[in-house]
């Protein structure tokens, strides 16, 4: 489990993907690989999610997880499809406990000290800080990092090229999630070259912001 979280952190970015059809999954995965970011959080916002995860997991070259997981049943579906990690917008005991049963890392959402403590009590080591932009942004994460030593954050929501630096500058930020490099309309329209280019730009930006990580 720690290995998977370490792999996520090494990429610094987690593309949050909404796939309207599972048939788009392979092309999207190829665009991510070609763009230099073989990571995907495929959200359960569409019915295509389990089949899309299955298709990406079968390739073996993308660190694929399930996002927007709201129920224990969806955890089961995600694990059966081959997801390597689970992300949830909030902290649900049912979701976290089912992930533990499966032995799969989970990143539940938490943006207040009380929510963070609830997640810690469930054995969580990394939380999703969502929605980052409207929950105090990087300043809030820095403030929470003071009492919660050792806790890692993956901020998501309202982050893009214009403010990525604020988040990646924080030592408690393991990686930053976002949809800006995988726009739903481009994926739906099959414009995978444009997706690849956005992914490349995001990777180049993240690398330029953290040269220490690039060389690790």
Query: So which residues are the catalytic ones?
Result: 41, 128
Edge to edge, what strands does the sheet with 13-17 contain? Answer: 106-108, 86-88, 63-67, 39-43, 13-17, 176-178
- Does 17 sit near ligand 3PG (CB under 6 A)? no
* Interface pick for ligand 3PG out of 158, 197, 209, 213 (rule CB under 6 A): 158
- Does 155 sit near ligand 3PG (CB under 6 A)? no
Residues 6+ apart with CB under 8 A from 142: 170, 172
Of 150 and 162, nearer to ligand 3PG (C-beta) is 162
Cα–Cα dist 200/51, whole Å: 26
Number of residues that bind ligand 3PG (CB under 6 A): 12
CB of 139 to ligand 3PG, least distance (A): 18
Backbone φ and ψ of 25, nearest 5°: -65, -45
CB of 149 to ligand 3PG, least distance (A): 25
Q: Shortest CA distance to 107 belongs to which of 84, 141, 81?
A: 84
CB of 132 to ligand 3PG, least distance (A): 8
* Interface pick for ligand 3PG out of 178, 192, 195, 199 (rule CB under 6 A): 178
CB of 78 to ligand 3PG, least distance (A): 15
Cα–Cα dist 185/113, whole Å: 36
* Interface pick for ligand 3PG out of 77, 91, 156, 172 (rule CB under 6 A): 156
Of 58 and 191, nearer to ligand 3PG (C-beta) is 191
Interface residues for ligand 3PG in 88-127 (CB under 6 A)?
A: none
Interface residues for ligand 3PG in 61-80 (CB under 6 A)?
A: 67-68
Cα–Cα dist 93/35, whole Å: 36
Q: How many CB atoms lie within 10 A of CB 146?
A: 8
Coil vs helix vs strand at 174: coil
Cα–Cα dist 46/44, whole Å: 5
CB of 191 to ligand 3PG, least distance (A): 18
Q: Binding residues for ligand 3PG, per CB under 6 A?
A: 16, 67-68, 130, 156-159, 177-180
């Amino acid at each position: 489990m720690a290995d998977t979280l370490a792999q996520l952190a090494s990429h610094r970015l987690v593309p949050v993907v909404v796939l309207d059809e599972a048939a788009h999954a392979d092309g999207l995965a190829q665009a991510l690989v070609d763009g230099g970011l073989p990571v995907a959080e495929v959200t359960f916002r569409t019915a295509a999610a389990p089949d899309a995860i299955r298709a990406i997991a079968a390739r073996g070259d993308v660190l694929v997880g399930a996002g927007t997981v709201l129920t224990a049943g969806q955890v089961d579906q995600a694990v059966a499809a081959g997801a390597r990690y689970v992300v949830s917008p909030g902290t649900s005991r049912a979701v976290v406990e089912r992930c533990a049963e499966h032995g799969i890392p989970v990143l539940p959402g938490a943006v207040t000290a009380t929510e963070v403590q609830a997640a810690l009590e469930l054995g969580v080591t990394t939380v999703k800080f969502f929605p980052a932009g409207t929950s105090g942004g990087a300043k809030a994460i820095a403030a929470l990092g003071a009492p919660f030593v050792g806790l890692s954050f993956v901020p998501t929501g309202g982050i893009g090229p214009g403010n990525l630096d604020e988040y990646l500058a924080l030592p408690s930020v393991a990686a930053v999630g976002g949809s800006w490099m995988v726009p739903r309309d481009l994926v739906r329209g099959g414009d995978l070259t444009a997706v690849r280019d956005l992914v490349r730009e995001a990777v180049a930006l993240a690398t330029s912001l953290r040269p220490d990580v690039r060389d690790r």
